Structure 1
Amino acid sequence: MNTVKADPAVQRALLDLAEIDAELSRATHRRRTLPELAEIAAAETALQARTDDQVSVRTALDDLDREVKRQEKEIDAVRAREDRDRSLLAKGGLPSKQLSELEHELETLQRRQNALEDDLLELMEQREAAEANTQHATVALEKAQEALADAQRRRDAVFADLESIEAKRAAERAALTPKFPEPLLALYDRVRQHRGIGAGLLKHRRCGACQLEIDRSAMARISAAAADDVVTCDECGAILVRTAESGL
């Protein structure tokens, strides 16, 4: 395999490129692992639960409203029948049998009305409780909506910052990459895609990419390499940029 060649100053510029790529990678990682993302997912689940609760309590309230109206309608019908019977009694002149029947019916109607009114009172108490539940559910729903909106705002603010960083760094990368010969840039990009870091400073016999110390035989090979030879770390494959701090 032919050794990739590049001017030492060009090789040192790889450290600038590696720094740019490292920040871009951090931005990508932060975008994926942002705590607000998990918070939003939890808030969405909570919001759906609060929405379901509100639908449930509103349905119960609507059912009670219908039952109250039905009960009130039935009471009105009983009262109307009672008023009719009392009107007939007030006119007088009724046969004794019909009079007795009317009096019996009035007693029955009164008992029926009392029972219906008791039932209505119980329904109204149930409705009052259901209305309170609806109000509580509405407040809980509003809080869930606010929590979700707050998490989304914070996520969007971080994303806006990340987009600014990414745009700035991408522009810097685009301006920097033409300075590298194609074989050098291809090697750097290939290593970066597989290992995460394409180049690192060789400092005091330690690889700046993987932070491992380079053994004596590898250091001897690197020391013997020409200044424009591109050398790599045996452990991680990253391009080793040599400077006065490399310990050669």
Structure 2
Amino acid sequence: MKAEPVHQVRLLDLQEIDAELDRLKHRARTLPEISEIRRLDARLVELNDQMAAAETALGDLDREQRKAESDVEQVRVRADRDTRRLEAGQVSSPRDLESLQSEIASLARRQSELEEIVLDVMERREAAEGRRAELAKAVDAAAAEREAAENRRSEAVLEIKDEVDSATQRRTRVAGEIPDDLAALYVKLREQNAGVAAAALRYGRCEGCKLALSTVELREMRSAPADEVMRCENCRRVLVRVDDSGL
């Protein structure tokens, strides 16, 4: 393939722009904010699950407290009724009187036990409410942190987009100066060589594969016409002769 030396050198400019675009795309894919947002999303899922469990626990404790308070009320009502009967002298039989007094004492003990249960439930409910409040704060903090990370990511993406747009415009100008057959070869070699299709020959070394050319290869490069498109024997990239090629 033949191409004017200026066009071959322009191929290096195109390669540099494409490398810049590749770096920008990689940067966009690997922004630290992306992994941070994923981490915070997982944290929010975990916290929301814990919040749901805390809400369920509070609901269970509410029911438990209502039942315990209802039990206390039932015992209290019965004890009050028996006490009124006793105070009104409605029981005259000594045996019935003894039985009634025993029942009142038993109800008092039962009411005391149930009131202890109510206090225990209230204490556990207070602790559960504290846990829910802590989780609510943690959810708010994680959500705020995620929003900040999302804002940073958006700013970085916009910055990268501006750089990509600028580089793309420069690429369009440079690509328009390169002959079609040379441009087609460049595209093909980029696909085959991890995005690097053209490299400069500097001081007898291919900048693509970083290997030094042999004496025979250098002699061929030196004797080849200036418009001959040369290829590296090692990596097969287009090898462009420049001022400091060492020929």
Q: Summarize deviations over 1:192-230 as a string: whole Å, max 9, x none.
A: 122121212222222232332222111111122211111
Specify the SS of the correspondent of 1:180.
Answer: coil
Q: Quote the Cα distance in structure 1 between the aligned partners of 2:90 and 2:51.
A: 60
Specify the SS of the correspondent of 1:200.
Answer: strand
Aligned to 2:21: 24
Letter in 2 for 1:231: M
**Match of residue 154, structure 2, among 153, 156, 164:** 156
Aligned to 2:226: 227
**Match of residue 113, structure 1, among 111, 114, 119:** 111
Specify the SS of the correspondent of 2:176.
Answer: helix
Structure 1 unaligned runs (5+)? none
Q: Confirm or deny that 1:214 pairs with 2:223.
A: no
Matched ranges for 1:66-215 at <5 A = 66-96=63-93, 98-195=96-193, 196-215=195-214
User: Over aligned residues, Cα RMSD in angstroms?
Assistant: 2.0
Question: Under a length normalisation based on structure 2, what TM-score does the superposition of the two structures give?
Answer: 0.89
Specify the SS of the correspondent of 1:245.
Answer: coil
Higher deviation after alignment, 195-204 or 82-91: 82-91
Q: Quote the Cα distance in structure 2 between the aligned partners of 1:82 and 1:147.
A: 58
Q: Confirm or deny that 1:35 pairs with 2:32.
A: yes
Aligned to 2:246: 247
Letter in 1 for 2:205: R
Q: Give the share of equivalent positions with the same residue, in percent.
A: 38
Q: Relative to structure 1, is the Cα distance of residues 85 and 244 closer, same or farther in structure 2, using a 3 angstrom cutoff? A: same
Q: Summarize deviations over 1:76-118 as a string: whole Å, max 9, x none.
A: 2222222223333343344425544433332222111111001
Higher deviation after alignment, 157-166 or 108-117: 157-166
Aligned to 1:65: 62
Q: Quote the Cα distance in structure 2 between the aligned partners of 1:214 and 1:41.
A: 48
Letter in 2 for 1:8: P
Higher deviation after alignment, 85-94 or 12-21: 85-94
Q: Quote the Cα distance in structure 1 between the aligned partners of 2:79 and 2:121.
A: 23
Q: Relative to structure 1, is the Cα distance of residues 19 and 76 closer, same or farther in structure 2, using a 3 angstrom cutoff? A: same
Q: Confirm or deny that 1:45 pairs with 2:42.
A: yes
Letter in 1 for 2:206: C
Q: Quote the Cα distance in structure 1 between the aligned partners of 2:25 and 2:215.
A: 37
Letter in 1 for 2:46: A
Higher deviation after alignment, 30-39 or 117-126: 30-39
Q: Quote the Cα distance in structure 2 between the aligned partners of 1:27 and 1:15.
A: 18
Structure 2 unaligned runs (5+)? none
Specify the SS of the correspondent of 2:225.
Answer: coil
Q: Confirm or deny that 1:11 pairs with 2:8.
A: yes
Q: Quote the Cα distance in structure 2 between the aligned partners of 1:152 and 1:237.
A: 43
Q: Summarize deviations over 1:112-148 as a string: whole Å, max 9, x none.
A: 1111001111111211222222222222223332333
